[in-house]
Amino acid sequence: MTPRVCLVTGASRGIGRAVADRLAAVGHHVALVARSRSAIEEAAADIRARQAGPTVLGVAADLTVPEDVERMFAEVERALGPVEVLVANAGAGSAASLVETTDEQWQHMIELNLTTPFRCVRRALPAMLEAGWGRIVVVASVVAKRGESQVSAYTASKHGVLGLVRAAAAEYARSGVTVNAVCPGYVDTPMTAETIDAISERRGIELAEARRALARRQPIGRLVDPAEVAEAVHFCVVNGAVNGQGINVDGGAVQS
C-alpha cells in the first residue's frame, strides 16, 4: 500500500500505541498524539528505533480543548502533510451506578469519548475529500452495542460515537473516504488495569483473581491483546469496501 500520513490519538500506551506501531511497521508515516509530552515523545522514539523508514512524530495535545485539535492537525500537516488516515483512539472510562453518576462525570465521558472524536473527524475530512481518499477509524467499545451496568455514561458515549461513525460513513460513502469503528472488549491495557483495581477493591479480592474474573467475562477466557485490536484497525485501512461498520474484537462476547 502507498505510504500514508496517519494520525493516532491516545497513542502513548495501550491500543493507540499498538496501532501506531502496526501502521509504522507497514511503512506509513505516523503522528502519535497524547496529553503528556514526555510520554508521547518516549512512545514515538521507541517506534522510530524499531521501524526504520517511516517518519514517526510525537505531538502533545489535550483534545478536549478545541484549540488543541486545530494545533495538532496544523503541526502534523506542517511536518508530514495532510492527514490521510485518522485513528481516533483517545478515550477513558468511568464507573458508577447511574444514580451516583454526577453531571461532571457524565459530561467528561461525552466530551472525551464523543465530542473529541467528532472534532477530529470534522477537521480531517476536508483534506480527505479533496484528495478523494481517506480512512477514519474510531476505537469504540463493545458497549457501543450493548448496555452494561455501572458504566452508563461510558456506554452512552460509546453508543454515540458509533452513531457518528455510521452517519459519516453514509454521508461520504461515494467520496473515497471510509469511516469505521473497532469495538474491543476487555483489552490488556493500563485502562483495563484500572478496572481490575476497582473490581479488586469493590469485591475485596486479590488483583489476580479480579483479573481472572474479568477474563472469564469474555468467551475466549482471556483479555484481548492490543495488537489484535491494532490488526482490526489496519484491516479498516487497507480494505476500501468496509465502511460504516463496528468491528467487534471481543472474543465473541457480542455476535454480529
Classify 176 in phi/psi space as left (phi over 0), alpha (psi -120 to 50) or beta.
Answer: left
Q: How many CB atoms lie within 10 A of CB 182?
A: 28
3-state DSSP call for residue 132? coil
Q: Is residue 169 very low, low, confident or very high in pLDDT (cuts 50, 70, 90)?
A: very high
Global pTM value: 0.93
Return the sign of the alpha-carbon dihedral for residues 190, 246, 172, 234.
positive
197-222: pLDDT as tens digits: 878 887 888 888 888 988 888 899 99
Q: Are 32 and 40 in contact (CB under 8 A)?
A: yes
Between residues 53 and 240, the one the model is more confident about: 240
Q: Which domains are assigned to the chain? A: 5-185+225-248 (3.40.50.720), 186-223 (no CATH)
Closest CA to 162 of 248, 256, 255, 245: 245
Catalytic residues: 154
Amino acid at 245: Q
Q: For the residues 231-241, what does the mean pLDDT come to? A: 98
Locate 146 and state its grid cell. 450493548
C-alpha 120/C-alpha 66 separation (Å) is 9
